[in-house]
Amino acid sequence: MANTEVREGTPSKLALAVVKKLAEMKMHKTELAAQLHVSRSMVSQYLAGKYKSNPAELEEMLKDFLAANGNSDFLEADQRTETIPAVAEQTKKLPKKAAYYESRDYMGVMSVCQSCQEDMGLGIIIGQSGYGKSYALQHYAKMPKVVYMECDDTMSCRDLVEAIEGKLGIPRATSGTNWKRICRIREFLNVNTGYLLIIDEADKLINKYTASKMEILRGIYDQADVGIVIAGEPKLEVDLRNMLDRFANRIDFFYKLGGLDKKELDGYLAGWSISEDARRELASRAYSSRNGCFRLLDRTLNNVLRVMKSRGVTEVTIDIVNEASGMMLL
């Protein structure tokens, strides 16, 4: 009897299909791993036919990935037939917003975070307010050994150190200088390796008088086995280039959010019944107007759904968008 098992080092048919789809989408394995919330090495090993653990769970994720991107070859026949009435039924109901949307910016943020965590690198993420930077960072922060903290203008150096201690679960010191407490943080991270620190709104840690809080983060990064992602608005990039050379020249990964484009907006609104003039108005909320951004689009759609529910309709018209807009301060 012929041996039908896949030999070690030989990619499976599913792996080959995924590799082909990645090439079609011009998508890197790192981005796929971030999308699936698994390690980059796991995806690389499986696609190369070298994954030695039980691949069942990963294979289900990869099948879902193929199905979501127009390749349903690996769906079971009964799953394929069940989707037809489900889609027909869905058109009769109110549309639903996606729980999260894997835009170019979302995947860029996830890729930087994963690379910094796996390689203990230093990453910088820049994005204007409302572009979805914090949302993506908070989503990645659900991963194991990831600490997320948001800064503000009132934080002192001691506040920053205490916040990091608290997020890492280090017992709060009742005494000792900042230096001694920073040493405790370094020792913790050198013993408990694999952590990623995400410092959001980091531009608020810098002012024209001092950048000492950023120097604390640099010191932790230099002397501890830890990855760090610093995120903030465009001011952060300017300050890093002009005031913090020692920080800037350590940066391993950099990503700057660009906001939604037309193709991404169409993907986000897939399944919605929208008139052309309403779609143009929503596009201005997403990227065309002076203050267009993902946040403004999201707020508008929340109110659009409320209006649609009250009217008992399933199509988005310009009248509905205008009524939804009347509920907001634009």
Q: What is the pLDDT of residue 9?
A: 63
User: For the residues 156-180, what does the mean pLDDT come to?
Assistant: 89
Domain check: are 284 and 174 in the same one?
no
| Pairwise CA distance, residues 9 & 52, whole Å | 10
Q: What is the overall mean pLDDT for the chain?
A: 85
DSSP-derived secondary structure letter, 125: E
DSSP codes joined into one string, 26-52: T--HHHHHHHHTS-HHHHHHHHTT---
User: CATH number of the domain that 237 lies in?
Assistant: 3.40.50.300
Model confidence at 3, in pLDDT bands (50, 70, 90)?
very low
Rg (CA), the chain: 23
User: For the residues 93-108, what does the mean pLDDT come to?
Assistant: 83
Domain check: are 113 and 251 in the same one?
yes
pLDDT digits (tens, 9 = 90+) for 47-99: 888 887 788 888 888 888 888 777 765 554 344 444 444 444 444 578 887 77
Domain check: are 39 and 70 in the same one?
yes
Compute the Cα dihedral for 98, 102, 105, 110 and give only its sign: positive
pLDDT digits (tens, 9 = 90+) for 238-267: 998 888 888 888 999 999 999 999 999 998
Residue 162, phi-psi category: left (phi > 0), alpha (psi -120 to 50), beta (remainder): alpha
Rounded to a whole number, what is the largest CA-CA distance in the chain?
78
Please indicate, yes or no, if residue 144 is contained in any of the structural domains. Answer: yes
Q: Which of 81, 102, 82 is nearest to 31 (CA)?
A: 102
Domain check: are 162 and 252 in the same one?
yes
| Pairwise CA distance, residues 196 & 118, whole Å | 9
Highest mean pLDDT among 26-30, 171-175, 244-248, 304-308: 304-308
Domain check: are 121 and 248 in the same one?
yes
User: What value, to the nearest 5°, has the Cα angle with vertex 288 and ends 296 and 254?
Assistant: 75
Our count of domains for the chain comes to: 3
Please indicate, yes or no, if residue 98 is contained in any of the structural domains. Answer: no
Please indicate, yes or no, if residue 3 is contained in any of the structural domains. Answer: no
| Pairwise CA distance, residues 217 & 186, whole Å | 11
User: For the residues 298-308, what does the mean pLDDT come to?
Assistant: 93
| Pairwise CA distance, residues 183 & 186, whole Å | 5
Contact 216, 161 (CB under 8 A): yes
User: CATH number of the domain that 74 lies in?
Assistant: 1.10.260.40
User: For the residues 308-328, what does the mean pLDDT come to?
Assistant: 92
Residue 308: give the domain boundaries: 262-325
Please indicate, yes or no, if residue 222 is contained in any of the structural domains. Answer: yes
Highest mean pLDDT among 6-15, 21-30, 51-60, 151-160: 151-160
